[in-house]
Structure 1
Amino acid sequence: MDDLTGFQRDLLYVIAGADEPSGQEVKDEIETYYNSEINHGRLYPNLDTLVNKELVEKGQLDRRTNYYALGDQGLDQIKDRRSWEQQYLE
């Protein structure tokens, strides 16, 4: 996860916490967390990066709507990150 931006890492966590969210659902959740509007030009290229790194899987709900799901590598990245964080919180 050391090669991800903080925004990409946050997207990964949002996707992990939802059941195959659409891009719009990810956008809504991340906007709530950041307390500001996130434009499509920022969101979708970062989601595509997560897909290209094989951390997230992208599927199609219908002709206009994609969904995102955490892949095995994405889950491993989150577990590694949480383990790394935990050592500093003990």
Structure 2
Amino acid sequence: MDITEFEDLIDRLGEDLSLWPEDRRSSAEELLGHSADARALLESAHALRNALATPPVRAPAGLADRIVAAAKRRADPAEPHAEGETAGN
């Protein structure tokens, strides 16, 4: 197996080699034994999987409503501003 095939298999089968077909897994493990590039690809795939597995960042409750309200205040200069706001904000 060469590095191009290894990368293709990671893309198609994932970074968990234990889930790969036995013949592919054996070839991949052999490549990993002597290829720093293959190890780097596998490490990158693990890092990507971990990044995708983290919980999403959630906006604070009511943020969208506050944004819409602020936009409406800016569109209607006659409406009073919230404390600390000026007409130039």
TM-score, L = length of structure 2: 0.33
Looking at CA atoms only, which structure, 1 or 2, has the larger radius of gyration?
2
Q: Which has the higher strand share?
A: 1
For CA contacts below 8 A with separation 6 or more, give which structure has more relative contact order.
Answer: 1
TM-score (norm 1): 0.33
